[in-house]
């Protein structure tokens, strides 16, 4: 693989890692445990690929490849986070008011009288 290909692949996997990470945080904040767990597991797999590509490039002797990977991955961090925020805002929804009230009522009933 050329330095450009490694840099583009590392940046792409970094962007995906960031998207998954942001959606993970949004899902956790909105009590969507299963979605958060799926995002966490997915993020790990993609993130380890980013790490492997980056470390391999940084251990090489090509300064230009190191600079490309470092720059592209840094840019992907910013863009991936913003993209994750946009995706999460659209698809990670909060519970409806009725669902919240029902959950509160159920919790109160299970505790019994005060």
* pLDDT classification of 112: cutoffs 50, 70, 90: low
| pLDDT given at position 110 | 79
pLDDT reported for residue 24: 95
Does the pTM exceed 0.75? yes
State what percent of residues in the chain have pLDDT above 70.
96
Asked if pLDDT for residue 2 goes beyond 70, the answer is yes
Contact in structure between 69 and 6 (CB atoms under 8 Å): yes
The yes-or-no verdict on residue 83 having pLDDT over 70 is yes
Can you give the pLDDT at residue 113?
61
Q: Which two tokens stand for residue 57?
A: 């490039």
Secondary-structure breakdown of the chain: helix, strand, coil percentages, each rounded to the nearest 5: 85, 0, 15
Indicate if the pLDDT at residue 114 is higher than 80.
Answer: no
Structural domain boundaries in the chain: 3-111
Q: How far apart are the C-alpha atoms of 103 and 31, rounded to whole Å?
A: 12
What pLDDT does residue 108 have? 81
* DSSP secondary structure code for residue 33 in this structure: H
């Amino acid at each position: 693989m050329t330095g450009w290909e490694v840099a583009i692949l590392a940046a792409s996997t970094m962007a995906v890692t960031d998207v998954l990470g942001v959606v993970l945080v949004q899902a956790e904040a909105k009590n969507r445990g299963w979605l958060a767990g799926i995002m966490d597991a997915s993020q790990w797999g993609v993130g380890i690929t980013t790490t492997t590509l980056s470390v391999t490039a940084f251990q090489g002797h090509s300064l230009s490849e190191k600079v490309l990977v470092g720059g592209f991955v840094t840019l992907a961090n910013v863009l991936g986070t913003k993209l994750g925020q946009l995706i999460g805002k659209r698809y990670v929804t909060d519970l409806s008011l009725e669902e919240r009230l029902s959950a509160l009522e159920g919790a109160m009933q299970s505790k019994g009288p005060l």
